[in-house]
Amino acid sequence: MKLQNYIFANQYLDVQDDEGNMFVGRVEAFDEEAITLADITRLDHISSANEKLPLSEMMKKEVFAFFIGNNKMKYQFRTKITRANTDQFQIHLKSPAVEDIIKIQNRDYLRISSSLRCDLNVSEMDEELKLQIYTHDISGGGLSFYSRQPIEYNKYTGTLYLYKGDNELPLPFKADLVYMNQVDDQRYKIALKYSDIKEQHRNHIIRYAIQEQVRFRK
C-alpha cells in the first residue's frame, strides 16, 4: 500500500492536538515527505470558547490527523506541523509512514483500559444514588467499572471527565446497564452502554482512545 491509497487531492483532514485545539484543512498537494493543507478553518478550544492557540504554538506539539478514505472508512495518524504559511492559509504536515495509519472501527468502538473519573446518578422509584467511580475501560459506546457493592439499575445518568492536557473535559451522558457480574468475593464489574450522548462528546472519547492506543504502540 502507498500513501495515495489513503490520501488524495481535495480530501479534508481534521487535525487536533492533546489540548483540544483543532482545525480542518483541504489536501492541496502531498508526497512521501509532506501533506499541504489549504482552506484552513479553526475549530473549538475545549478550555475556552474565546481562546484559541496560535498555529505557531501547535507547531511545537504532536498532533493527530483524522480523515475519511476513498473506501469511506475513517483513519487516523500521528504527525507534526512542519510549516505554516499564514499569508497563504496553508499548513504543511509531515507525511506518515503507511504502516502508521490506523483504521478507526466505526461499528465496534475501540475499547481501551483507562482510569477516568466519572460521576454517576441513579434514580429509580424512591431510591436515589450518587457515586463517584473510576472507569476500568472506555469506548465510544460505553464504559465499565468495578464496585465493592452491587449497583444494578436499568438507567444511569453521569458525567465522564476526559483528560485534555492539564484540563478535564466534562462529558455528560445517559446510559443503560449492559451487565453486572460478580468477579470475586469483594468486587462486581458493571458495564454501561451510552443511550444518550452528544456526538461531539462521543468523538472526544473515540479520539482519546485512539491517541492512547497510538502512545502504547510507540
What would the pLDDT profile of 74-129 be if each residue is shown by its tens digit?
A: 888 989 998 877 666 789 999 999 999 988 765 457 788 899 999 999 877 677 88
Shared domain for 166 and 202, answered yes or no, is yes
Does residue 71 have a pLDDT over 80? Answer: yes
Shared domain for 23 and 44, answered yes or no, is yes
Confidence (pLDDT) at 51: 46
* Identity of the residue numbered 152: E
CATH classification at residue 53: 2.40.10
Segment 135-173, tens digit of pLDDT: 999 988 999 999 998 887 888 999 999 987 677 899 999
Shared domain for 8 and 26, answered yes or no, is yes
Where is mean pLDDT largest: 2-16, 40-54, 154-168? Answer: 2-16
Where is mean pLDDT largest: 43-57, 104-118, 178-192? Answer: 178-192
Handedness of CA 45, 142, 198, 71 (dihedral sign): positive
Confidence (pLDDT) at 93: 94
Alpha helices in the chain (DSSP H): 55-58, 199-216
Domain boundary among 104, 121, 141: 104
Confidence (pLDDT) at 170: 93
Does residue 44 have a pLDDT over 90? Answer: no
Does residue 186 have a pLDDT over 90? Answer: no
Burial class (CB within 10 angstroms; exposed 0-12, middle 13-18, buried 19+) of 70: exposed
Confidence (pLDDT) at 48: 39
Cα 170 to Cα 159: distance, rounded to the nearest angstrom: 6
Domain boundary among 104, 137, 163: 104
**How many domains is the chain partitioned into structurally?**
2
Confidence (pLDDT) at 127: 74
To which residue does cell 436499568 refer? 154
Cα–Cα distance list, 188 to 39, 59, 151, 206 (Å): 51, 45, 8, 26
Domain span at residue 52 reads: 3-104
Cα 192 to Cα 135: distance, rounded to the nearest angstrom: 11
Alpha helices in 31-179 (DSSP H): 55-58
Shared domain for 48 and 13, answered yes or no, is yes
Q: Which residues, at least 6 apart from 50, have a Cβ–Cβ distance to it below 8 Å?
A: none
